[in-house]
Structure 1
Amino acid sequence: MDLFHSFSSLPPIFALSIFLFALVWILKTSLKSITQKREAPEAGNSWPVIGHLHLLRGPKPPHIILSNMAEKCGPIFTIKMGVHRALIVSDHKTAKECLTINDKAFASRPSTLAMEYLSYNHAMFAFAPYGNHWRQLRKLATLELLSTHRLEQLRHVRESEIKTSLKELYQFWEEKKDGSDTVLVEMKKWFKSATLNVILRMIVGKRIPSSTNDAESEKWKTSLKEFFDLSGKFVVSDALPYLRWFDIGGDERLMKKVRKELDEVAEGWLKDHKGKRSSDKLNKSNDGFMDVMLSIATDTEKHDADTINKATCLALILAASDTTMVTLTWALSLLLNNKDELRKLQEELDIHVGKDKLVEESDMENLVYLKAIIKETLRLYPAAPLLVPHESMEDCTVSGYHIPAGTDYL
């Protein structure tokens, strides 16, 4: 009996079932093939094992190198970083798609050496993977420090600190002025001191005077700078984990040192606040964020309450101080090199604020040109030219391309 006769003898319903099954299988296979073909393009010049790492070694900074690659590969492409694959997005439309439509898919963070050591093993919510810990701490920081109500409560702290910093600048001028009444001031250093003191007052109720030469204070400021350098630095063992044992470049050893120094400072703050609480010396109308955390933070499966408190406070201090200093330094530099814009800004300040008082936060509503200058500075010279890396938790589609789970997003 031949094959055709065998099928022709089957009941019509059974034969139809086999036909439909075959059709579904063919369609499914075809769709899978189409999906696989729609993977994001990979940049060229990839080497075995290390991928594109040799292209990122410098001397140009990574964001310039990636920008040059985008000119050849388009606004969305992938690169191989050792054992990891990273998605590179360089236009606002695609970035918006990643951070709005696919915001939950890209909500997590990759695990890196810096995040392990510098963030108390991912206790800092800025570096924590997406989950309950991240959601709770983000909500707490928003409500207890960054909400409109809380910021208004702490306005006097910011205004007081700015006045104090300006007085210290004036005293410096009095001491150092020469016959022409001019003094050279390193404004980057002054901006850093002023912004750091503002955020310190809001978080822990302390400040570091600009004129201090205290060795411990200078050591802590150095640790802050090293934190930023290390948190954004590419470490070979992140791409090639089997090389971690060698600690190429000594980055792991330096991270341990910085972590210890920052933790010692945060631990001192925490002990001071606990001592005030036990002796009823707290000023309830001027509680810092660390005091709020002492009342709210609880132990979790991975971290105790004190570690969460220190990690969260340090994350907020680190995030606010350096970025603000960089933006203000660039804004001042751009104004000094564009005299017409500087003159227009001075005219706006004279009209809406006057020459006999300091600019206050309430004046910003009328200072349209000043706000435009700040926005243009952020556009031209962002404090962080690359995002803190994200990692896709699930498969998703970006610009029609299939992005598998576990892909880093830059």
Structure 2
Amino acid sequence: MFMEDVWVYIISASSFLFLLCLFKLQRSNERNLPPSPPSIPIISHLLLIKEPVHRTLQSLSDRYGLVFSLNFGSRFVVVVSSPSTAEECFTRNDIILGNRPRTLSGKIMAYGNTTIVGSPYGSHWHNLRCLMALEILSSHCLTGSLALRREEVRLLLKSLYEVAVVAARGGSCARVEMMSRLQELSFNIIMRMIFGKRYFGAAIDADDAEVAKQFREVIREVFELSGTDPSDFLPALRKVVDFKGRERRMVDVAKRSDRILQGMIDEVKSIRQRSDGGREVESKTMIDTMLSKSYSDDIIKGQILSMLAAGTDTSSVTIEWAMSLLLNHPDVLKKVQAEVDGVVGRDRLADEADIHKLPCLQNIINEALRLFLPAPLRVPHESSEECTIGGFDVPQGTMILVNAWAIQRDPKVWDDPTNFKPRRYEGLEGDHAYRLLPFGMGRRRCPGAGLANRVVGLALLALIQCFEWE
């Protein structure tokens, strides 16, 4: 009797599972899902993805369409590669696609995905967004921090001038390595806005030098380990193996990062307590501002990491690519030098107020961002409910990847898309929305776009004005 009951149970359970699979298959067939390549069971399309990912996705888009789907293990992914569908994502579906996929790196290193970049769409994200837009990265606040950007750019010019003087004594031009100098520039600007101290260069206090060295190393590792992890797509994998020791490294980096970031916050708290008998001091840094708004230490630490991730390498890489493009197109370099000489002259150093008077310079920056944007794939979105994109059904919980690199090099969108042509923007006056996506679009657009434009514009303008380049 017992065995009969067991067999009845097994047959009933099997029948239920079979009917459930049929139901899901029928629902899947009823949906008009985006086209997809053939896949392998369990890992699905993960083996198709090769570095660089944006180029791989573009080649798949050429075969399967401007909107196509992939399965990364258990995760359904829709890839968007056209301006019209990107516009659809960030207008009609902007709220539905307002979430971010949860990631292992965000959970471990970004304080449980609570940063402005990784937190889900909701009141917490909205509060952080308002804080950044109104009290840290607003036009008024950026104007107030002009002095520190001006000082950092002039320190860069001074270091280049000293090298040039030594070379001139030997009767030759100076060979300079720009990458590290530009990274120092952008990192110091962000750190001074966050904490009020420089973390690169000779001007660092001796007591802070060792902490600065440790922090630079930690930030490098955070950048290296950020983003998606294989276990984000194959959760069962995490229970079996730690892929290349990444999770263990994340935990270690998170502990070291937290210790340094907490030291910064404690130092600011100590200064605030000593100031004016404990009364609240005027907010001058991001940490000051967030403490005055009673944000928790963990939220502040997460926001520091977000600012550094979004505002350091992105700006330095853009300046470096712009300089490289100018050196490989001397006719454009001569044109912008003539524009700077005509508008600014040679009697004073150019300033941020001059940037909007120099359309050729702005066109060069736009073209550098179009060809070599720092983040070829926009930060992934996640659908909070079912929606349609490009006429296709997108289920709830789908990861949305916008391939900005493919959009910005699409020959159907841009004339001669692989060539450097700053003049293509003449007369457009902002008509390139959804075709040029260096900062994303919609409600989750990067709030640091204004700061990035000021840093890149001022640094590039100063380099063009002050030196002859070959």
Same fold (TM over 0.5): yes
Contact residue 199 and residue 321 of structure 1 kept, 8 A: yes
Aligned to 1:8: none
Mapped to 1, the partners of 2:275 and 2:166 lie a distance apart of 41
Query: Among residues 254, 259, 280, which one is paired with 2:254 in the alignment?
Result: 259
Q: Percent identity of the aligned residues?
A: 37
Cα distance in structure 2, aligned partners of 1:248 and 1:33: 35
Maintained 8 Å contact 2:262/2:301: yes
Query: Counterpart in 2 of 1:228?
Result: 223
Q: Label 1:257 to 1:181 Cα distance change in 2 as closer, same or farther (>3 A).
A: farther
Query: Contact 2:218/2:257 (CA < 8 Å) preserved in 1?
Result: yes
Residue-pair matches, total: 369
1:36 has 2:30 as partner: yes
Cα distance change, pair 74–371 in 1 and its aligned pair in 2 (3 A) = same
1:14-93 equivalence runs, <5 A: 36-42=30-36, 44-56=37-49, 58=50, 60-93=51-84
Rounded to whole Å, the distance in 1 between the matches of 2:342 and 2:281 is 39
User: Which amino acid is the alignment partner of residue 288 of structure 2?
Assistant: D
TM-align CA RMSD: 2.2
5+ residue gaps, structure 1, are 1-31, 299-304
**1:324 is matched with which residue?**
315
**Candidates 87, 91, 111, aligned match of 1:96:** 87
How far does residue 324 in structure 1 lie from its aligned partner after superposition? 0.4
Letter in 2 for 1:48: P
Residue 267 of structure 1: how far off its partner (Å):
1.3
Aligned partner of 1:273 in structure 2 is: 268
Tell me which structure has the larger Cα radius of gyration. 1
Question: Mean alpha-carbon deviation: is it higher for 273-282 or for 146-155?
Answer: 273-282
Which residues of structure 2 form unaligned runs of 5+? Answer: 1-25, 402-470
Q: What amino acid maps onto 1:390 in structure 2?
A: H
Offset, 1:284: 5.2
Match for 2:67: what amino acid?
I
Q: 1:369 aligns to what? A: 360
Q: CA deviation at 1:199?
A: 1.4
Q: Post-superposition shift, 1:266?
A: 1.3
Shift of 1:67: 0.5
Secondary structure of 2:275's counterpart equals: coil
TM-score, normalising length: structure 1: 0.85
Q: Give the Å deviation of 1:379.
A: 0.5
- Displacement of 1:286 in angstroms is 6.4
Counterpart CA distance in 2 for 1:255 and 1:356 is: 51
CA 1:177/1:111 → structure 2, altered by over 3 Å: closer, same or farther? farther
Deviation at 1:358, TM superposition (A): 1.8
Equivalences for residues 138-217 of structure 1 within 5 A: 138-173=129-164, 179-211=170-202, 214-217=209-212
What is the letter of the counterpart of residue 278 of structure 1? Q
Cα displacement (A) at 1:195: 1.0
> Alpha carbons of 1:223 and 1:186: their partners in 2 closer, same or farther (altered >3 Å)?
farther
Give the AA of the match of 1:272. Answer: E
Shift of 1:248: 1.3
Distance in 1 of aligned mates of 2:250 and 2:365: 33
Deviation at 1:34, TM superposition (A): 11
Alpha-carbon distance, 1:186 to partner: 1.6
Counterpart Cα distance in 1 of 2:247 and 2:153:
37
